[in-house]
Structure 1
Amino acid sequence: MAESSERNDLSDFIKCAICLEIYKKPKCLPCLHSFCETCLQMYITSEVQNQAKNTDESKSKVDETPRESGFRCPTCRNFVDIDDELKNAWIQKLPDNFFIVSLIDKYSIQSESKICDACIFNGKTELAVTWCSDCREALCQKCQSHHRKFKAFRNHSFLKLSVTTQQNVTSFSGFIPCPDHSSSPAQVFCADHKAACCTLCATIRHRKCSDILTLEDASNGVKDGKVTQDLRKRLDDLTENIKKKISNREDSQEKLKVSKECTEKEVTTVFNETIAHLETLRSSFMQELQTYEQSMSKTHDDEISKLSHLLTRVLLQRNLLDVSIAQGSNEECLVNIENIRRTESQIKDECDVFSYKASNGRISFTTNSEFRDIRSNLKTIGKFILMEKCLCMQTGQIKLLKKESSCIGNDICNAIFDFQNNVIITDYEGKRISVYDYSLNKKSSISVDDCPRDITIDKSGRIFVSLPQLRKVVEINLKTNTVQEMFHTTVDCWGICWMNNDFYITSGTVIQIYSSDGTKKEDIETSDTWMISGKENAGSIMYSKQETVIERSVISKSEKKLHTLSGAGLRGIDTDYEGNIYTVGMSSNKLYQLSSDGTLLREVDLKDFELKGTPWSVRLNDKNKFVITTRKGCVALFEITPGPIEQEA
């Protein structure tokens, strides 16, 4: 099964994009895309004919201009310039893609039938035992013997076809050919050049080298040697490095999509407040935004594709090393190690071209002052800004925008941001939900049946509130100022969070998961957990246990301790759009900012802001604002101005 899966994976890399068949003499264009030589010839001929036709049709309309001499790559559409007179010779001079040729060899070697190709032409079916790398054919023992009798085929390289295990990458025949004389065995090893060769090469090419050993002596103990172990570790580290870069770009791409959705909602909200004749401007802006997002997304796709290709190469080298150690002789292991080391260096150089972190690609929207004034000379409704990686929340400046101590009752409260630039606050003592603007001016309020404790919002903007004493969750409709019961819980629902179309309920000793229709799905045992946050794109929930910040994977159900803050008395917790974690200490009276991996970035003493009461919760919006509530009913609105990113060592 593993071998069949590997062959299917290889087949994706050895098919021509034009004929969709296995490559026949693959040629590589300057843009690095490869095609069959015949397919490329037919494609260029067709392209040139189309160019000539288009030029003839346009001569009556425009002045005659120099015509492009070349064609566009069928895959990336980059223009390739060629001389018409040397067209055929130019194609023949294109470099062969030997990497694809080697993949085709590997694909053919792994063929499940392994029938002799020469015997098939004679109507026979004989089991193949060797593979000719030069002719790329499988041969039985008899055909191989005849193959070697001809002078033209005498120096061809042969590989034994053997039954492979699940982890095999190639087969070892016991014969190590000299790199320059394939028919002669490699018997000596030049330590100066790190290369194995035959005795003739040692006499001629390496006669001035000072350290020449027999292959047997040079390979003694190589499998358990420090060089082999270091190489294995570097390959593992390189694998992990590439995986992290791919994951980083996938996260960045998801953030790009989320920020695009938020920007679209903001654009729509602003535009709907204006008159109808601006519809054309809105459509133009949205099209530009879509194009920009697609452009950025393509960049991430290209980088992920290239890094995935590097990862495949590293894994192939890693498997080859394991098989060499497990099945090969010391001599074979030595030779393969040196080849892998050279390949490893090439892959590492290609990997280092990519920075460790991708641009987060976040897009924000800024409204033009002219648009707000609704002036007749408007040309656009605003502009979108790509948040480059040179700015980040980790080094941003924190500024208090507004605080209010008397906007709600003198008791515990929680707050969130909606999509209309409002702050929605639960008033536990007053049994109501209140709506405030960014200046903390009250806009409206809605009464509920009991004391509301926590509040959350889904992707569509629906607002949900937990009523722990009644053990139920209700939905708050701000447009109609109504309350609708959603479902009942089996525990006191102190904390609530919406993530991945599920409700996460905390009651101190258990975390319960409910589906959107109120069906209970799972219980997770915990302790001293009162509030919860979700990293939807990462598929994990965050919560605190007095002194420790916890991350739990929704997929693997594993719990990970990110950071411990002694004596903090942690309560509220949330994350920003970069994945940084924010939590407040009820005992320490501080705001803590942590990186996504749990590294403490900074502590902010909230006493400096003279907030009434100790901090209870913290919530962030999708940009750079956050709100902190206290146990005395104080609400404080803050803003983080993104700062320069710290360069990695």
Structure 2
Amino acid sequence: MASSFQMCEPCFRGGEQTQGVSWCSDCEEILCAFCEKAHRVAKLSKSHAVVHLEAIKSVKVERIADMNICEKHLGKNLEAFCTSHDSLCCSSCVFEQHKACEKVLALDEASVGIKSSAVVHDVQRSILVVIDAYDKILQNQKKNKETLAEKETSVKMAIANLKSKVNKHLDSLANSVSIIRDESLLKIEKNCQTILEKRDNLMTHKKNFDFLREHGSESKLFLLTETLKKELTVNDGSIQELLSNIKTQSITFSSLQSDLSAVASVCLEEEPLNIKHEIGILNRAQMVKSTTSLKKDAFIDLGFDEPTPLTGIEVTEDNRILLCYWLNQSVLILDKNGKFILKEDVDGDPYGISLIPHKFQAVISMPEAKKVYILNSSNLKYIRHFKTLNECYGIVVLDNNIYAGSSGVISVIKINGQYLRSISLLPNCSSIRYIYPMKDGNLFCTSLHNIFITSVDGTILSTNGYCDEPRGIAIDKNGHVYVADKTSHKVYRFNADGTKIDNVLHRTGQFESPHSLRFNRDHTKLYVGFVKSNFLGVFSCS
């Protein structure tokens, strides 16, 4: 396309300079009045979409023009659409990846009727939904900036009222308020910048989409629609991540005048954003979701004299492996390659284990002793413990609270051991053996003979009995849930809604009675613990 949007491009190629008045989205050229008239009656171009130049002022025509270029094979035009993989293809794509696909359509054939199709409606609605979600998060962050300033003033006034008694201490607290405020404002500014970039990019897509829907050709709209389906999938994931990671921040002040050594404190309080985001095209687009393939890598001999149930596996930020050996009263650390680092005996039989986020600490359930044990996740040294009301097996830390599963109940406990509440589950529900937090905030659980999903308020969202004795849970990078079944000697894979997909591992050789599961941090390895062997199974993921 010529650099000037005012000059008729066919005339320019013919050596003349005439004023352009319209634009053909099929040819991607500016036309003068004479060329436009000829364009509208010529047999090859009479069906082209031609609009006045005023209509394209708000549209980045360069981005529309580049849509037909294959991202994998630069310089090749997209010419086909594979309905099996929901994928746009150039000729090289078809030859390399889609030769065996049953239905690969030419682009013109695939795009017939796209303007009136449900998928265009879904994409249009999803654009608005995603932009609205970005706007709400942005509005929340801007408001949070204001409330932080207000909270700073009120907290500093409270500190000033106590200065006469503990002047030095309160001066320190006043300084910490500003530090917390600055760190929080920096985080909010970073969040706002990220959100604005994503929102602005989507607004550009929206303008192009609206333009093509009204004035563009069906093939161009089809190209943009397919591009936007994937863009919106990425944006939906970005919003879920933002809603999960961004917290509404506040500064609070509390005092205890009876003890001058701890008369006051300043801390940052965070709570999840009260914003609901409806995932749009993810629930409607016909896409083939990728799945993880597992291949045996190694069985690591852990050196116990007798078979010891490996019931808990956790992986640290640096990919070290923490192992709980039930009935052996010991916890182990291996490096990321499975090499032994440390073994520590503990006062009880450890069952489940979960890391406390942003601290070098882990919580361990000890059902027989009715207690939760907290240790240093770097050197396994004891920190503290507290008693529980029931025998707790499954354990996980979520939003700085401990969720501990027992018979028909999940207890919610503060890290310091303060009991908060109980989540009552299914009638006659046996002990909750494992709990795993999902991205949507719900809990995926296994009991002695059932699998179920519950919200944190106790609403059962799904339940099934696909497994004989389901135990350990892990979730891969695609959101699929893996459950070990120790009786059938299998590991099953489920969708996030609890529906079964397939079984990915089964009894063979040393693989017998799987009990605990965990992926490493980058989801390149799956670790499997067993009931009746002294091995840690390692499976490579691809």
TM-score (normalizing by structure 1): 0.42
Quick check: which has more Rg, 1 or 2? 1
TM-score (normalizing by structure 2): 0.49
